[in-house]
């Protein structure tokens, strides 16, 4: 059992784990922004089609990533118990799930054009999005394997290599985009197909880097991760399935809340929708820090769970929550003090309509300052619950909070009560607040039960 750590030691442990994960999350977001900018240079139709295609890919990716997200707590707990065999079993069967999921969804991505048309997209745009997905779809397997290896290495507290691999992938992606989208350096000009190819190659290169590290690093060879990879392990396969599918659906429920808010904001007006997108980008940058701390908390709590050390579990959880709250308060201050400057970073203020977008975006950032704390609390609670391998309960809490409370509240405040876009964001805040309270209550209730069993 791990000796009792001071709170300062818990802080150091969380920062060592969390800072590289935060950097990796931010690098991944910068990669997305770079893709958007470069396709915007190429053409509006190309940009719109890839936004549509990438959104379709991401929805399916969120579902499949549930297995690798759940695996982090499983592996951390096994490490806490000193069970190296279980580490290999859980990680290997997570990779099996990733591969099988990628095979199952490939036909959906290959014939996505008719599906997108049925959902009301313009035929030309749907056709271009299908061109993108027929290449990018083959990246689902490497993308999910990459997420699995990131989780595996994070549970082993090897987060720095995750950061460096993500940064290397970002460099490769930018170079390939420049070459294949525009036809530079003697390459053919492929437009959206070039963007898809760049994404696919980047995913393959990054997963190979992490796989080589996991297989050949002297300290990791004892896990024999890829030894007899083809052999099934049905008990571990079933366990990964049982814990993983609720995580995927939980992510889908939360993502659906924000997608629904974007749809309803479009009903309010074009200016409001543009401001909504900018304010969400600013909030998402801050969220990456909370997500990195949450991922680190999953590992720390999972280790304490495996060691049977509820006191360390409590101290680690409290430390992570306090750190997240501290950063959240800093972001609240920035959002309230510098809202116009933040929104202005995303706009050419000389363009028509920019002034109206800045004015409304400033109001939304004030609401974002309010929901920032609730969003931080719910993602931290999810990370803590995954550390103790509790995934089914959070799914139902998310569905109730977001779909039965958050979205209806947004609609009622925005339209029947006439608050418009501000009402939509207040509804988001209500949904996130309910989720944060219920998820935190569930985690601390489970901790009390562990203390009673240990007594």
Q: Where are the domains of the chain?
A: 9-232, 245-455
Residue 362 structure tokens: 């400033």
State the CB neighbour count (10 A cutoff) for residue 422: 17
Predicted pLDDT at 43: 72
> Is residue 392 exposed (0-12), middle (13-18) or buried (19+ Cβ within 10 Å)?
middle
Predicted pLDDT at 410: 92
Q: What is the mean pLDDT of residues 19-32?
A: 81
Name, of 49-58, 92-101, 358-367, the range with top average pLDDT.
92-101
Predicted pLDDT at 351: 66
Residue 42 predicted with pLDDT over 80: no
In the chain, % of residues over pLDDT 90: 36
Residue 246 structure tokens: 């609720």
Give the model's confidence band at 450: pLDDT under 50 very low, under 70 low, under 90 confident, else very high. Answer: low
Predicted pLDDT at 1: 43
Hey, is 269 helix, strand or coil? Answer: coil
Predicted pLDDT at 431: 93
- Distance from C-alpha of 217 to C-alpha of 89, rounded to nearest angstrom: 19
State the CB neighbour count (10 A cutoff) for residue 44: 9
Mean pLDDT of the chain: 86
Residue 4 predicted with pLDDT over 70: no
CA distances, 61 to each of 64, 99, 105, 109, 394 (Å)? 5, 12, 9, 11, 19
Going by C-alpha positions, the residue among 287, 306, 293 that lies closest to residue 387 is: 306
- Distance from C-alpha of 347 to C-alpha of 350, rounded to nearest angstrom: 9
CB distance 226 to 164 below 8 Å: no
Element at 356 (helix H, strand E)? helix 354-387
- Distance from C-alpha of 261 to C-alpha of 269, rounded to nearest angstrom: 13
Least confident of 6-10, 205-209, 410-414, 431-435: 6-10
Predicted pLDDT at 264: 82
Give the model's confidence band at 348: pLDDT under 50 very low, under 70 low, under 90 confident, else very high. Answer: low
Chain-centroid distance of CA 146 in Å reads 13
CA distances, 168 to each of 61, 162, 163, 208, 255 (Å)? 21, 10, 9, 12, 28
Predicted pLDDT at 117: 82
Least confident of 225-229, 297-301, 348-352, 418-422: 348-352
Going by C-alpha positions, the residue among 436, 446, 431 that lies closest to residue 387 is: 446
- Please tell me the pTM assigned to this model: 0.83
Give the model's confidence band at 399: pLDDT under 50 very low, under 70 low, under 90 confident, else very high. Answer: very high
Residue 293 structure tokens: 């701390």
Give the model's confidence band at 253: pLDDT under 50 very low, under 70 low, under 90 confident, else very high. Answer: confident
Least confident of 139-143, 371-375, 402-406: 371-375
Please, where are the H alpha helices in 140-191?
A: 140-155, 159-180
Residue 138 predicted with pLDDT over 90: yes
Predicted pLDDT at 2: 46
List own/partner pairs for 264-268 with CB under 8 A and 24 or more apart. Answer: 264/410, 264/411, 264/414, 264/424, 265/421, 265/424, 267/415, 268/414, 268/420, 268/421, 268/424
Give the model's confidence band at 358: pLDDT under 50 very low, under 70 low, under 90 confident, else very high. Answer: confident
Q: What is the mean pLDDT of residues 56-69?
A: 88
Give the model's confidence band at 346: pLDDT under 50 very low, under 70 low, under 90 confident, else very high. Answer: low
């Amino acid at each position: 059992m791990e000796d009792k750590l001071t709170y300062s030691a818990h802080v150091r442990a969380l920062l060592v784990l969390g800072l590289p994960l935060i950097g990796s999350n931010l690098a991944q977001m910068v990669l997305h922004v770079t893709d958007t900018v470069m396709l915007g240079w190429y053409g509006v139709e190309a940009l719109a089609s890839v936004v549509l295609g990438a959104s379709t890919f991401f929805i399916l990716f969120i579902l499949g990533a549930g297995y690798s997200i759940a695996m982090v707590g499983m592996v951390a707990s096994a490490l806490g118990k000193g069970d190296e065999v279980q580490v290999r079993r859980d990680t290997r069967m997570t990779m099996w799930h990733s591969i099988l999921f990628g095979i199952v969804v490939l036909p959906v991505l290959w014939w996505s054009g008719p599906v997108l048309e049925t959902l009301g997209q313009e035929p030309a745009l749907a056709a271009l999005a299908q061109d993108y997905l027929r290449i990018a779809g083959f990246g689902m397997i490497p993308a999910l394997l990459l997420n699995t290896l990131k989780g595996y290495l994070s549970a082993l507290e090897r987060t720095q290599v995750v950061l460096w691999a993500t940064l290397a992938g970002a460099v490769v992606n930018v170079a390939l985009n420049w070459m294949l989208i525009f036809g530079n350096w003697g390459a053919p000009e492929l437009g959206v197909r070039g963007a898809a190819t760049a994404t696919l190659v980047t995913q393959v290169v990054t997963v190979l880097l992490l796989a080589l590290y996991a297989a050949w690093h002297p300290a990791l060879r004892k896990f024999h991760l890829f030894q007899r990879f083809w052999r099934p392990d049905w008990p571990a396969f079933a366990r990964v399935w049982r814990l993983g599918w609720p995580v995927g659906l939980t992510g889908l429920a939360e993502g659906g809340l924000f997608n629904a808010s974007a749809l309803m904001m479009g009903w309010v007006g074009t200016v409001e929708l543009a401001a909504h997108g900018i304010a969400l980008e600013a909030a998402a940058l801050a969220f990456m820090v909370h997500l990195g701390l949450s991922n680190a908390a999953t590992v720390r709590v999972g280790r304490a769970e495996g060691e049977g050390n509820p006191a360390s579990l409590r101290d680690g959880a409290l430390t992570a929550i306090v750190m997240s709250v501290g950063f959240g308060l800093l972001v609240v201050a920035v959002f309230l003090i510098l809202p116009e400057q933040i929104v202005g970073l995303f706009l050419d203020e000389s363009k028509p309509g920019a002034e109206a977008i800045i004015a409304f975006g400033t109001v939304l950032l004030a609401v974002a300052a309010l929901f920032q704390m609730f969003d931080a609390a719910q993602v931290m609670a999810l990370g803590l619950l995954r550390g103790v391998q509790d995934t089914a309960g959070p799914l139902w809490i998310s569905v109730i909070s977001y779909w039965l409370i958050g979205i209806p509240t947004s609609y009622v405040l925005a339209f029947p009560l006439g608050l418009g876009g501000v009402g939509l964001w207040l509804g988001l805040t209500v949904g996130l607040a309910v989720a944060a309270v219920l998820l935190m209550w569930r985690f601390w209730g489970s901790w009390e039960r562990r203390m009673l069993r240990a007594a």
